[in-house]
Amino acid sequence: MPKKNYLLTPGPSPVPPEVLSRMAEPIIHHRTPQYQEIFKEVCEGLKFVFKTSKPVYTFTSSGTGAMESAIVNFLSPGDKVITVDAGKFGERWGKMAAAFGLDAKVIKVEYGKPIEPRQIEEALKAEPKTKAVYTTLCETSTGTAMDIKAIAAVVAKTNAILVVDAISGLGADPLDTDLWGVDIVVSGSQKGLMIPPGLGFMSVSDKAWKLVESAKLPKFYFDLKQYKKSIDKNDVPWTPAISLVIGLREALRMIKAEGSMEAVWKRYANLGEATRQAFKGIGLEIFSSRPSNAVTAVKSPASVDSEKIVKIMRDEYGVSIAEGQAEMKGKIFRIATMGYISEFDIAVGLSLIERVLDRLGYKFEFGGTIKAFQESFVKGELVNK
């Protein structure tokens, strides 16, 4: 039969057909009342997902563009910052800080472990002039969720702002922006927000806005002051990615229909936990000591190259999961539980992983993943009721 494709990667994640079909409608102009009404609804929907009463700014860029915006708008060359490097995406904050001439204290954390809030507290004490702390909600490369609530409590006591890359975690791992006092949250469109890649987002606290006036790093495309001037008119300074914004309105309606972000988070928490139990059900280990609910990183059996698992699944069966990156290559594989991925999509992935592991010589009992998955999922659903 023709290959049926399933996307179980931690971004891009699948896009609902209702969203895809809206994006296929004839393009409209963006300087019109018609588009402004759409963008206004999108801005409101983003506040709902970001859990903030402040505007959320939309950039035509990947998530990395939004990360750059979270640097250039708030700092000057030589400013002291702390970046948390607990994987490939935390590492990116450090690289960016270097590219923009910041004086960065990079805290290296063992892959698969979260940073201890105490480490940030100590670093801030050691360098009281630190202007910003850059970290990650879900470190996608290791499947680890940082304890943002505790970190925010630490940073809030200082003059520094807390910047969180929530590109893959947003919508799956809890992030209560205003309540926890997270100053800047950046994200992208192709994960929990269920649309194709091409949009970046950023929320900004009052404390962070205070840094904008004195920030001397040069900028134009990502210049927040330009965006601030436009947003009250439901506009952006440069031509937006119209079709993606229209798709996003549809996706945000689907998210809002669930009632609250707390309900959404609970659903992914249950899905994430069931997924972890599934792999434990056939004797595999979860890579992270503080696992994210957006993506599960699994240690491959010692005898099995995880790259082979991923390749066979994708090329022979059309089911995409992700490999390990950098030094985790060959050793872990990652399966996403974010956005439009349902428990039954995960069941597809688990069934295929069992078949591939069997073929690659790993010994276990068929059905072991699904048994543990179902038991955990149903138990979790009961608790959530």
Residues lying near its own copies in the complex (CB under 8 A) are found at 5, 7, 9, 11-12, 14-15, 20-21, 23-30, 32-33, 60-65, 67-68, 71, 77, 95-96, 99-101, 188, 190, 196-198, 217-223, 237-244, 314-315, 320
Query: What is the token pair recorded at 323?
Result: 């490999």
Compute, in degrees rounded to 10, the torsion defined by CA atoms 357, 363, 366, 367.
-80
Q: Determine the Cα–Cα distance for residues 39 and 242; give it in Å rounded to an integer.
A: 9
Query: What is the token pair recorded at 104?
Result: 């960065």
Q: Determine the Cα–Cα distance for residues 248 and 39; give it in Å rounded to an integer.
A: 9
Backbone angles phi, psi at 319, to 5 degrees: -105, 115
Q: How far is the CB of 340 from its own copies (least distance, A)?
A: 10
Q: How far is the CB of 356 from its own copies (least distance, A)?
A: 17
Judged by beta carbon, residue 35 or residue 265, the one nearer its own copies is: 35
Q: How far is the CB of 31 from its own copies (least distance, A)?
A: 8
C-alpha distance from residue 142 to each of 185, 287, 296, 334, 384 (Å):
20, 7, 8, 8, 27
Judged by beta carbon, residue 8 or residue 151, the one nearer its own copies is: 8
Judged by beta carbon, residue 155 or residue 195, the one nearer its own copies is: 195
Q: How far is the CB of 282 from its own copies (least distance, A)?
A: 25
Q: How far is the CB of 64 from its own copies (least distance, A)?
A: 4
Query: What is the token pair recorded at 285?
Result: 């280990």
Judged by beta carbon, residue 117 or residue 324, the one nearer its own copies is: 324
Judged by beta carbon, residue 298 or residue 310, the one nearer its own copies is: 310
- The residues with which 163 forms a beta bridge, in sequence order, are 134, 184
Strand stretches in 189-342, DSSP E: 199-204, 295-299, 319-320, 322-323, 332-336
Judged by beta carbon, residue 162 or residue 246, the one nearer its own copies is: 246
Q: How far is the CB of 187 from its own copies (least distance, A)?
A: 12
User: What length does the chain have?
Assistant: 385
Q: How far is the CB of 236 from its own copies (least distance, A)?
A: 9
Q: Determine the Cα–Cα distance for residues 327 and 343; give it in Å rounded to an integer.
A: 30
C-alpha distance from residue 192 to each of 170, 217, 290, 348 (Å):
6, 31, 20, 20
Judged by beta carbon, residue 243 or residue 277, the one nearer its own copies is: 243
- Are 113 and 145 contacting, i.e. CB atoms less than 8 angstroms apart? no
